[in-house]
């Protein structure tokens, strides 16, 4: 693993020993108007995913999924605060809700439904435990360099699912390898800790579909649905494409993310340096332009007005030219894909976009430091991950690796 701050030793340490060790708070894109047809619920949750929260609200308020709005997904293994919107006509039912793992802190009113991406960024407050003796001075040096050069805009391990295979699933789907998709979707038993799921995956590898179905945990509804369709004699193609569209899009998005991370790693040592042929992103508005003369544009990068980018591959994404373009085209070709591969049926086409290789680090503060722990806070723009900061700080690939993950 390489780091942007490789010249500075890490702090060591792990996080997420408790939910309070990893706190995330959305920074709204706009204030509520105080009127309108939508209620904005400021909700604190612990130990559950945003999707679980949305499911509880959908069932408790008798709403369809599309009637509920949210700006972003938040980690389950954390204490998080985020805004959720529901129709105003449900105001009398809010007090009757029996929410598990979350509570409503504040209710406001606004004109429009909350949309995905409608947030300015996220404020993180994170405690690292079991840190080294020199953790504080090392953290100060690392954070200073990240403020100057930017945070690598990696998606990281949390993007790729509990078994780390979401990107592989998306690639199999794009390649129309539906049999391989099914095998990967049920899971590799060597990577599964839940005993029932592990047994089901072993049976599936042996071709014993009924035994696999009987052993799958009941809450694994999508996997059980796929197996049931195979037991009914449906083709692998039919069983896969019958999965929820939002789940399939999640896998496709993970594949885009994986390719992006590979390209970023190739540029990590100089992610703040422009190259002729780059497509630069303006941080103020996300607009892109092709870099004809990197030397002339570099000062704007030094001022953090612009940054080089890499693609989230898709059918309409603009590719770079020159050296960066060669790297992008090579990665795509080696994966057996073209941009047209992302033209998919059932509304699953991924148009693609450009994503900056780095993001600014704001309002950095070491809140508290003890003998073997430290707590820090900082702000990152929407769509970027705190794990990129923690990876640089600790010099570990996954500082939360001691936390067991089970389904």
Report the catalytic residues: 75
Of 379, 386, 389, nearest to 26 by C-alpha is 379
Q: 116 is written with which tokens?
A: 């995905």
Question: Which tokens hold the place of 41?
Answer: 């619920």
Q: What is the C-alpha separation between 303 and 306, in angstroms, rounded?
A: 8
End-to-end CA distance of the chain: 28
| Encoded tokens for 301 | 């990068």
- Cβ-contact 281, 306 below 8 angstroms: yes
């Amino acid at each position: 693993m390489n780091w942007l701050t490789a010249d500075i030793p890490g702090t060591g340490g792990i996080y997420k020993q408790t939910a309070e060790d990893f706190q995330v708070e959305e920074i709204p894109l706009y204030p509520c108007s105080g009127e309108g047809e939508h209620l904005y619920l400021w909700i604190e949750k612990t130990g559950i995913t945003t999707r679980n929260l949305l499911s509880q609200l959908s069932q408790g308020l008798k709403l369809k999924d599309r009637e509920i709005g949210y700006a972003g997904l938040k980690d389950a293994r954390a204490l998080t605060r985020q805004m959720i919107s529901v129709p105003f006509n449900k105001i009398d039912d809010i007090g009757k809700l029996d929410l598990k793992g979350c509570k409503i802190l504040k209710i406001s009113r606004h004109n429009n439904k909350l949309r995905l991406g409608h947030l300015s960024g996220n404020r993180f407050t994170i405690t690292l435990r079991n840190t080294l003796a020199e953790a504080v001075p090392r953290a100060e040096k690392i954070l200073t360099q990240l403020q100057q050069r930017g945070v690598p805009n990696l998606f990281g391990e949390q993007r790729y699912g509990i078994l780390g295979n979401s990107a592989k699933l998306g690639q199999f789907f794009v390649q129309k390898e539906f049999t391989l998709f099914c095998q990967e979707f049920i899971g590799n038993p060597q990577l599964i800790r839940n005993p029932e799921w592990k047994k089901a995956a072993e049976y599936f590898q042996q071709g014993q579909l009924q035994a696999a179905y009987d052993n799958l945990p009941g809450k694994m509804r999508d996997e059980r649905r796929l197996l049931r369709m195979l037991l009914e004699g449906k083709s692998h193609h039919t069983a896969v494409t019958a999965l929820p569209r939002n789940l399939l899009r999640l896998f496709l998005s993970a594949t885009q993310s994986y390719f992006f991370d590979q390209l970023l790693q190739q540029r990590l040592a100089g992610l703040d340096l422009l190259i002729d042929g780059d497509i630069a992103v303006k941080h103020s508005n996300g607009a892109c332009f092709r870099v004809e003369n990197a030397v002339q544009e570099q000062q704007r990068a030094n001022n953090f007005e612009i940054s080089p980018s890499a693609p989230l591959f898709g059918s309409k994404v603009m590719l770079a030219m020159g050296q960066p373009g060669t790297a992008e085209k090579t990665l795509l070709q080696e994966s057996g894909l073209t941009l047209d591969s992302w033209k998919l049926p059932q509304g699953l086409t991924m148009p693609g976009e450009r994503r900056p290789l780095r993001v600014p680090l704001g309002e950095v503060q070491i809140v508290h430091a003890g003998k073997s722990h430290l707590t820090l806070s900082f702000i990152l723009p929407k769509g970027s991950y705190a794990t990129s900061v923690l990876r640089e700080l600790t010099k570990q690939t996954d500082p939360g690796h001691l936390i067991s993950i089970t389904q």
